[in-house]
Structure 1
Amino acid sequence: MTHLPTDVRAAFRLFAFYLRNGTLDVDLLGFDYWDALQHGSDLEMVFAIFSNVLEVDEHGRTVNDGDAQYRVAQWIRARQDPGYVVDPPFEPWETELH
């Protein structure tokens, strides 16, 4: 394989759109979170979580892009709301930077 499958590229494109548009899981993130992501390390973690959680089947199709987006939304919420409890807690592999 020389390029990411089309489905994976589309998942990243839509994720970036929702993230920047302020519409990433609006039920969980009912606040303007974009200004909080202006630090490079926070934005780096957002994309790390999305890419670590995203699963692709043997045909190159994403199978859980909604779940990957939700895990990112949980991380953003926890960064902005100290009282929010991430459930289930993040596993080390979900937040690993590569």
Structure 2
Amino acid sequence: MKLSHSFSGALRTFVYFMASGTQYTLEGIDYLPLYGEDPTAIEQVFAIYANVIELDEHGEVLNAKYAEKRATDYLQRYFNPDYIIDPPYEDWELELY
């Protein structure tokens, strides 16, 4: 089975904004240097996104903005240890496969 156009589009959009430094949930945070300096932080962001995103039985994305928020909250906390992730991450959200 191939990924749906809905998922491909959601993923492409998230990757574009993450790679261009214009992700709206990270406004004011200079996270682009992490791609070369700490790629494991970026890896974790994409793992959270992939773990959180939900599709219906037709492959249509149900929660793209929520998945983006959960993923980018990781970088918010990375740069600001006082940032509160609410609700806290569950173990399954952080798994690397």
| Fold match by TM threshold 0.5 | yes
Q: Which amino acid aligns with 2:67?
A: A
Give the fraction of aligned pairs with identical amino acids, expressed as a percent: 38
1:44 CA drift (Å): 1.3
Q: Which amino acid aligns with 1:52?
A: N
1:10-63 CA-to-partner distances (Å, cap 9, x unmatched) read 11110100111222234x542211113432211211110000000000111001
What is aligned with 1:91? 90
CA distance in structure 1 between the partners assigned to 2:24 and 2:66 by the alignment: 10
When the two structures are superposed, what TM-score results if normalisation uses the length of structure 1? 0.89
CA distance in structure 2 between the partners assigned to 1:95 and 1:41 by the alignment: 12
1:68-88 CA-to-partner distances (Å, cap 9, x unmatched) read 000111100001111111111
Q: Which amino acid aligns with 1:34?
A: L
Q: How many residues align?
A: 96
Instruction: State the superposition RMSD in angstroms.
Output: 1.4
Aligned pairs (5 A) from 1:1-98: 1=1, 3-26=2-25, 28-38=26-36, 39-98=38-97
Name stretches of at least 5 consecutive residues in structure 2 with no aligned partner.
Answer: none
Name stretches of at least 5 consecutive residues in structure 1 with no aligned partner.
Answer: none
When the two structures are superposed, what TM-score results if normalisation uses the length of structure 2? 0.90
SS in 2 for 1:34: coil
Q: Which amino acid aligns with 1:14?
A: T
Judge conservation of contact 2:34–2:42 (CA < 8 Å) in 1: no
Judge conservation of contact 1:25–1:70 (CA < 8 Å) in 2: no
